[in-house]
Amino acid sequence: MIDKRVRSLADAVAGIPDGATILCAGFGGAGLPDALCEAVIEQGARDLTIVANNAGTGRTGLAALLATGRVKRIICSFPRSSGSVVFEELYAAGRIELELVPQGIISERMRCAAAGLGGFYSPVSVGTRLAEGKEHREIDGRMYVLEKPLKGDVALLAADRGDRWGNLSYRKSARNFNPTMAMAASLSIAQVRHFVELGEIDPETVITPGIFVDRLVEVPA
């Protein structure tokens, strides 16, 4: 019998190794696995690389994880937003390395890893500083740069509903990076608002099929 549900946040994040690359879903606070981020603090992994669209706000969730000083590097499209105080302090003090990647390129690089592909040619950033050092190639008269796949050791996800097979559904724009990140990591862990029985999520509305999910824990809203 398949049952990917775990009882506690500690069980959900058990075994994340030092030096791991963690894909952290969410767009601002929507779809952000805040409880899992805080569980990683307790779990204790260090020298982490975080891949996330934003760098957290306030002092909870992702920001709390950054504040421990155990994240050495963040791959991010838009780190600074109102309330991103923890990141700004770390950045000003030179205590975190920032790799800035255009938003759609972060997403597509992860999709590429999920799909077993070796990279893709993209027109985004051509002629800008972010293209420096990348392989350029003209295809049918347009210039592109080579973007490489981005794979996670771990993905932290937030969904609305999940069943014991790991099927997930989301609410509204809280879907964002979750489906792609679920597919792009070796160990995908979801916090869900509601555990539901197998079959309760209409198969037509399963957004992330259970094959992409390893563990899920219930965290009511």
Q: Least distance (Å) from other proteins to the CB of residue 3?
A: 26
Subset of residues 35 to 64 that bind other proteins, contact rule: CB under 8 A: 53
Contact residue for other proteins among 73, 171, 194, 206 (CB under 8 A):
171
Q: Least distance (Å) from other proteins to the CB of residue 8?
A: 25
Binding pattern for the stretch 114-143 against other proteins, x by CB under 8 A and - elsewhere: --------xxxxxxxxx-------------
**162 binds other proteins, rule: CB under 8 A:** no
Q: Which two tokens stand for residue 54?
A: 């934003």
* DSSP secondary structure code for residue 147 in this structure: E
Q: Is the dihedral of CA 57, 58, 61, 65 positive or negative?
A: positive
Tell me the β-bridge partners of 74: 50, 98
Contact residue for other proteins among 6, 11, 78, 209 (CB under 8 A):
78
**Using CA atoms, how far apart are residues 182 and 189, in angstroms rounded to an integer?**
8
Q: Quick one: 21 or 54, whose CB is closer to other proteins?
A: 54
**Using CA atoms, how far apart are residues 7 and 11, in angstroms rounded to an integer?**
7
Q: Quick one: 23 or 40, whose CB is closer to other proteins?
A: 23
**Using CA atoms, how far apart are residues 204 and 210, in angstroms rounded to an integer?**
14
**100 binds other proteins, rule: CB under 8 A:** yes
**206 binds other proteins, rule: CB under 8 A:** no
Q: Quick one: 108 or 214, whose CB is closer to other proteins?
A: 108
Cα distances (angstroms) measured from residue 193 to each of 50, 124, 163? 23, 36, 11
**6 binds other proteins, rule: CB under 8 A:** no
Tell me the β-bridge partners of 191: 158, 217
Cα distances (angstroms) measured from residue 200 to each of 36, 131, 194, 197, 206? 25, 46, 11, 6, 10
Contact residue for other proteins among 169, 176, 188, 191 (CB under 8 A):
176
Q: Least distance (Å) from other proteins to the CB of residue 42?
A: 25
> Minimal CA–CA distance to 61: which of 83, 90, 93?
83
Q: Which residues bind other proteins (CB under 8 A)?
A: 27-31, 53, 77-81, 87-88, 91-92, 98, 100-105, 107-108, 110-111, 122-130, 170-180, 207
